[in-house]
Chains A and B, each alone.
Chain A
């Protein structure tokens, strides 16, 4: 009885919270918070299918978010005339050919065993070919990259519609997920966590340092929106429209996921999750299904990342932090309830509101405490108090994770058990 009413009650409570924020902090701010929260909801949905349906531990959400954001920038940012008018595009094209040739060579070397070359020798040759082609490509790329940075700053974008960029973000995230999953999914889930953690860091490092590609720490802005921007129609109308777009996206994703879950596909996933050995002996290709879910979840994360970055209107690779983009999503998902799509949405909205509000609240608390300490004990207020206050949020997030895992591991909206006729 109470379980079926629970989503209703929880969302009503959420509505009250949102109303409170609107009242206290104004419409423009609240709309921004809600729009960002819905982007996080897309991320949480991606994570809940990876963890909830397939038990996969993705510790590198940040990477998929970043790549989604980057693809969106690359495809939707206006053309950089200086780049296209110089000889850099053709130079870059040449490097592209080198890369293509290198891929063919390495692939050819890896297939040498078909003409009878012993495995160990083949591996050695492949490694050497890879090493040499890598060096050649890098030495060819460096002057071109330097030239681009000197003349045009960076390659700019392709000026395509925003939704193309978002779709591309999802697609590229899916491709990366394919490769990562292919290598790691057959192994222990800890390994997947480590691998995804690593890949997220690498993606961030590349995006941060390849100035010719992403403008690096100089950042790219302003990023285009699928709806009129605040410059055109003012903060409230623009943000409300963006919120409408992301909300519609969430509804579509939710419907698609729920339909999949109630279909034989969902049943098969639950069987695999329930008993892997039995499922395998019954002909279900467990690894392929896990990969399928991993890719699907990553695609959602790419799209969510793209919407999030586009909304912020600025692409800053240094702004990608594991805390904000990986672990925050984890908290949203496990608090909301793993494997429950509604739970993921609830968790995302709820946690994001708390997270946003925690910034002014902790600052206020720390400053009051510091002033009180100074007045009564003569303490010296450290100069980086604001930075330290924000770190308290890190502690709270960590504590939330451990507490939820210990006392409420299925979250506030646990997965429903389907009943058939």
Chain B
């Protein structure tokens, strides 16, 4: 099932720059929570800390009521907390299908000795994984490119593939980092529909950084606004849009 994130008093400095400053927020289980804010507000740094890429200087992060502060990303992966990247980080020299098949952890076939001495076990597991990967491909309507090298896919298809990767491991919570970046309108609709489906049908929790307000409006409730390293306000998108402080933060005073 889905699980929630709770961040308390988080801080992160790079040299003299305080990117995240005493940030406290919560992502409710089963929600699609948006995170917006002007450039430099600290959104991606926050994501990086929750996702385990950086360790915070101070503060605490709870995931599903478990303290995950400072735990590295590969371990968080096994706990069901995944993140996607602004620039899609696909494996460009492998096919789309392989990109999906490589995802599940602890595959028997990834152990050398098992590969050599228990080939039938590996074969069976491979068949299962391949079946699941094909399922995911179908869900995302990518069947026509499944044997294409991932590096040759379009920006939007790469983003869909990333989403597909989260499906391979039955994620609980996914951090989406500017998923709309570089994606054309049609594929964007596809993407957002899939996000909604995953949330409603499979029960994913999404935490979404976005600049595209229409996408936020379509997907997110609530929306958290960050500025200068900490949370400024939060609420639903209509309230946020009307909030004077938020407008000032984005446009710097001129209304």
Contacts and interface: CB of A to CB of B under 8 A. Distances in A.
Contacts of A263: 109-110, 115, 122, 126
A127 interface: no
A408 B213 CA distance: 49
Contacts of B126: 263-264
Contacts of B72: 280
A56 interface: no
A417 interface: yes
A296 interface: yes
B102 A267 contact: yes
A264 B107 contact: yes
A48 B119 CA distance: 24
Contact of B91 (A256, A278, A280): A278
Task: Identify the interface centre among B83, B94, B105: most chain A CB within 10 Å of its CB.
Answer: B94
A19 interface: no
A93 interface: no
A267 B111 contact: no
Contact of A274 (B74, B94, B103, B108): B94
Interface in A274-311: 274-275, 277-278, 280-286, 292, 296
A268 interface: yes
A281 B83 contact: yes
Interface residues of A, number: 28
Task: Identify the interface centre among A259, A281, A286, A419: most chain B CB within 10 Å of its CB.
Answer: A281
B83 A271 contact: no
Contact of B110 (A259, A264, A420): A264
A75 B99 CA distance: 47
Given A264-B101, A282-B102, A277 B89 contact: yes
B112 A296 contact: yes
Nearest to B53: A281
B101 to A, nearest CB: 7
Contact of B102 (A271, A277, A285, A417): A271
A254 to B, nearest CB: 13
B233 interface: no
A268 B73 contact: no
A285 B122 CA distance: 20
A260 interface: yes
B116 interface: yes
B102 to A, nearest CB: 5
A122 interface: no
A30 B236 CA distance: 82
A421 B126 CA distance: 12
A264 B146 CA distance: 18
A281 B122 CA distance: 24
Nearest to A274: B91
B165 A265 contact: no
Contacts of A281: 51-53, 73-74, 77, 82-83, 89
A263 B125 CA distance: 11
Contacts, number: 96
Interface string B121-133: 0100110011000
Contact of B116 (A260, A277, A419): A260
B90 interface: yes
B106 to A, nearest CB: 8
Nearest to A284: B74
A285 B74 CA distance: 7
A271 B91 contact: yes
Interface in A217-265: 256, 259-260, 263-265
B118 to A, nearest CB: 11
A265 B112 contact: yes
Given A259-B116, A277-B89, A420 B95 contact: yes
A265 B89 contact: no
Contacts of B95: 419-420
A313 interface: no
A274 B149 CA distance: 12
A418 B109 CA distance: 16
B141 interface: no
Contacts of B51: 281
Interface of B: 51-53, 72-75, 77-78, 82-83, 85, 89-95, 97-98, 101-103, 105, 107-112, 115-116, 119, 122, 125-126, 129-130, 147, 149, 165
Q: Sort A-B residue pairs by CB-CB distance and give the 3 closest, nearest first.
A: A264-B109, A283-B77, A278-B89
Interface of A: 256, 259-260, 263-265, 267-268, 270-271, 274-275, 277-278, 280-286, 292, 296, 417-421
Given A271-B94, A278-B91, 11 more contacts: A259-B115, A263-B109, A264-B107, A264-B109, A264-B122, A270-B94, A280-B74, A281-B83, A282-B105, A283-B78, A296-B112
25 contacts: A256-B116, A259-B115, A260-B115, A260-B116, A263-B122, A265-B115, A267-B98, A267-B101, A267-B102, A270-B93, A274-B92, A274-B94, A277-B89, A278-B89, A278-B90, A278-B91, A282-B105, A283-B78, A296-B112, A418-B98, A419-B147, A420-B95, A420-B97, A420-B147, A421-B130
